[in-house]
């Protein structure tokens, strides 16, 4: 088996398919999980996909990667925490693994507050605006960097 990739999803992504389908599409969160797992499997790797609405839980998962060294890279859709969380940016440098930031919508074509990311400066790459395909690209790149 190839590298293990951790895919983290922030707040409200559990509501995909319900929340603003004109922005995020009509796919469900289960579809995100399937895309990530299938992308990893196609490359002989493994993707573990998680979602939380609790920032402390997300930070704990990142800390666990640093402690346990059980993932080769992190793909993260921080959602709203992209634009607000210095704590998240600080945590993401701790594991010393490649970080790929992904967004379903093109955040740069949306409200001005969404144009700033605390995660982008520490990410190996940023993928935005490709819908769920962005997750496939992100997992593929994370594997390449592992």
Specify the pairing of strand 4-9 against strand 125-128: unpaired
For residue 53, say whether it is annotated as part of any ligand binding site: no
For residue 27, say whether it is annotated as part of any ligand binding site: no
Q: DSSP characters for 119-146?
A: SGGG-SEEEESSTTHHHHHHHHHHHHH-
For residue 50, say whether it is annotated as part of any ligand binding site: no
For residue 114, say whether it is annotated as part of any ligand binding site: yes
Residues that are catalytic: 24, 103
CA distances (Å), 15 to each of 8, 12, 62, 107, 128, in order? 15, 5, 22, 18, 19
For residue 41, say whether it is annotated as part of any ligand binding site: no
| Residue 76: strand, helix, or coil | strand
For residue 77, say whether it is annotated as part of any ligand binding site: yes
Binding annotation for substrate: 77, 83, 90, 104-105, 114
Binding annotation: 77, 83, 90, 104-105, 114
């Amino acid at each position: 088996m190839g590298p293990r990739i951790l895919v983290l999803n922030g707040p409200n992504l559990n509501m995909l398919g319900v929340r603003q389908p004109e922005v995020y599409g009509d796919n469900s969160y289960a579809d995100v999980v399937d895309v990530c797992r299938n992308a990893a499997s196609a490359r002989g790797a493994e993707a573990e996909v998680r979602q939380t609405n609790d920032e402390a839980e997300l930070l704990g998962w990142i800390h666990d990667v640093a402690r346990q060294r059980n993932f080769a890279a992190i793909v993260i859709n921080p959602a709203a925490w992209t634009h607000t969380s210095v704590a998240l940016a600080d945590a993401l440098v701790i594991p010393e693994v490649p970080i790929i930031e992904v967004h379903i919508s093109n955040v740069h074509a949306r409200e001005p507050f969404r144009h700033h990311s605390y995660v982008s400066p520490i990410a190996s790459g940023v993928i935005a605006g490709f819908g769920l395909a962005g997750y496939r690209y992100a997992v593929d790149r994370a594997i390449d960097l592992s």
